Amino acid sequence: MSDLASKLAVLRRQAGIAAPQGSPARPAPTGSGVPGQAGQATAWWEPTVSAKGARDTPTRPPDLATLRRMAGVRERLAQPRAPLRAHTRDVPGDELSPGLRYLEQRFAWAEPPAELDLSFAKLTTARREQFLHFDTETTGLAGGTGTRAFMIGAADWHDGALRVRQLYITAMAAEAAMLREFARWIEPETVLVSYNGKSYDAPLLATRYRLARLPNPLPGRAHVDLLHPMRRRYRQVWENCKMQTAERKLLRIVREDDLPGSEAPRAWLTYLRGGSSANLVRVAEHNLQDVRSLSGLLVEAHGWAAMDGAAVSPPGYEK
């Protein structure tokens, strides 16, 4: 990357820093000087104390090749890059604004109860139109300010069907538009429904809204996180309480050709970097199933109160 190196050199020259990289041609002292005595001998190594402090600039990035090599000593993790194959760049949905895409689908649904009993979540009741089942797909699990959601899916009961709306971004710059659009879907009386969303999706979105300097629509809304009631009820029963276990046991849904959630970051990044959109499409399908299942699991949990009243053993107890 010698163009970078030369660019760096230009930057340094502009900044008025004399020593060109790669060259040992600092003004060399004459040999007779004794360090400690005043004179040129000390000039090169004593820091020139500027108003800014004791820091001097004796070493400068010599060139980026060196920098890379030095960094490489630490990492030594040269990962082979996958060769580029012929690929599709088609992405589903409509473009709402540059880089922000929108997908909407409706699913017929056996009439859900008009009002759901939320006693399982230590809440009272809510009308079915109030619920917004949501799930995000993110760039990773590392946490902190460096992880973002690139896709938000939400399902609600609308006009006699389960409406699933999905937003995703194909450019980083579209994130704020996505966050703004999602905020529009949330009303004061909205009840959020998620799986582990209180610990994961909601804090992550809070961080994103904060970084985008946008008001966060989530605080103040009732939030039913289905993970906790599932855990309370089935911890001793199932091998684990992951969402896909719950949907298999309770809704009898088995996913086929599902892209594991852990693959989602790579699928999006591949597309973002000019690669194939094939897996991104599968991420959207995965997300779609997630929010559909949420709505089913909510109805299931609503039924627990009546069922427990009738002292029937919980379904899914099939060991």
**In the numeric block, which tokens belong to residue 13?**
């020259």
Rank residues 19 and 186 by Cβ distance to other proteins and give the closer one: 19
Rank residues 48 and 313 by Cβ distance to other proteins and give the closer one: 48
Rank residues 35 and 160 by Cβ distance to other proteins and give the closer one: 35
Rank residues 230 and 264 by Cβ distance to other proteins and give the closer one: 264
Tell how strand 222-225 and strand 191-194 pair up: parallel
User: What does residue 275 show for φ and ψ, rounded to 5 degrees?
Assistant: -90, -165
Shortest Cβ 197–other proteins spacing (Å):
17
Shortest Cβ 49–other proteins spacing (Å):
5
* Type and span of the H or E element at 97: strand 94-97
Shortest Cβ 18–other proteins spacing (Å):
15
Q: Are the C-beta atoms of 316 and 250 separated by less than 8 Å?
A: yes
Shortest Cβ 207–other proteins spacing (Å):
4
Rank residues 86 and 142 by Cβ distance to other proteins and give the closer one: 142
Shortest Cβ 37–other proteins spacing (Å):
7
- Interface residue list for other proteins (CB under 8 A): 1, 4, 7-8, 11, 15, 22, 24, 26, 28-29, 31-37, 41, 44-47, 49, 51-62, 64, 66-71, 73-75, 139-147, 171-173, 203, 206-207, 210-211, 265, 269, 272-273
Shortest Cβ 57–other proteins spacing (Å):
6
Rank residues 62 and 112 by Cβ distance to other proteins and give the closer one: 62
Shortest Cβ 59–other proteins spacing (Å):
4
Continuous H helices in 22-150: 40-43, 64-75
Rank residues 110 and 142 by Cβ distance to other proteins and give the closer one: 142
